[in-house]
Amino acid sequence: MPLLAAGLWIRLQNDTADKSFCYSGDSARSDAFIKMSKDCNVMVHMCHRISGTELTPAARTSSAGHMEVADVANEANAKTCVFSHISDQMDVLGIPERLLREISGVYKGNSIWARDLMEIEFAAPAPKKLI
């Protein structure tokens, strides 16, 4: 399984199973990360704030908002994007749903709002069967 790293970014690739996992670490939008993540199965990207609410101009170069992550996932053609490193700003009833609606206007892949210790499958999310 080859490992490619650039700064805080990692791509794990299993060529025999045609599966890839890309992780952005704590970072803002990066063309190099987009290139490295091209056509990945699962992308995990820091989404620290609601886009447009950064406290300082410098925050734009060190963290990403929800729409920046949507753009990255779209440009990389990631099959699934996991929005991680969620701040308290977004951890309010109804806010994740609103942000995911906004994200879906840009990114057409599977969007997942991360939770601590969650497990992500390479297959597209599917509902459990009713019993």
What global pTM score does this model have?
0.88
**Other C-beta atoms lying within 10 Å of the C-beta of residue 68:** 20
What was the pLDDT predicted at 20?
Answer: 94
Residue with tokens 């308290």: 88
- Residue pair 62/30 in contact (Cβ under 8 Å)? The answer is no
Instruction: Quote the crossing angle between the two packed helices 66-76 and 95-104, to the nearest 10°.
Output: 40
Indicate the domain borders of the chain. Answer: 3-113
Query: How high is the pLDDT of residue 8?
Result: 67
- Pair of tokens at residue 14: 């299993």
Give per-residue pLDDT as tens, 31-67: 999 999 999 999 999 999 999 998 888 888 888 999 9
| Low-confidence stretches of the chain (pLDDT beneath 70) | 1-8
What are the b/e assignments for 111-122, b being 16+ CB within 10 Å?
Answer: bbbbeeeeeeee
Identify the pLDDT of residue 125. Answer: 84
Q: Which CATH superfamily is domain 3-113 in?
A: Ribonuclease Z/Hydroxyacylglutathione hydrolase-like (3.60.15.10)
